[in-house]
Amino acid sequence: MGECRCRPLGFLIGLPFALLSLVLSLIGAVVWIIGFVLSCCPCCCCCAGIADLAMELVKLPVNIIVWFIDKFPC
């Protein structure tokens, strides 16, 4: 039939980890803003990599929830 996407157990188990990563994503947002401002200066062009890393931290809560949901069968 079709692929089962409704996995409430995976969502519930992943929720505390997603909340913890939400805090990390807020830190990542602050780092991204600082890195973005510093990357405008030609002498600080290496800060663009820091801004990219911060964007990965911002995406972390969604990635964790999706990972936990995919690990549990229907």
Residue with tokens 């929830």: 65
Q: pTM to 2 decimals?
A: 0.57
Which pLDDT band, with edges at 50, 70 and 90, does 1 fall under? very low
The model's confidence at residue 59, banded by pLDDT at 50, 70 and 90, is confident
The CA-atom distances, in angstroms, between 26 and each of 15, 41, 53, 56, 68 are 17, 24, 13, 11, 21
Which residues 6+ apart lie within 8 Å of 70 measured at CB? 7, 10
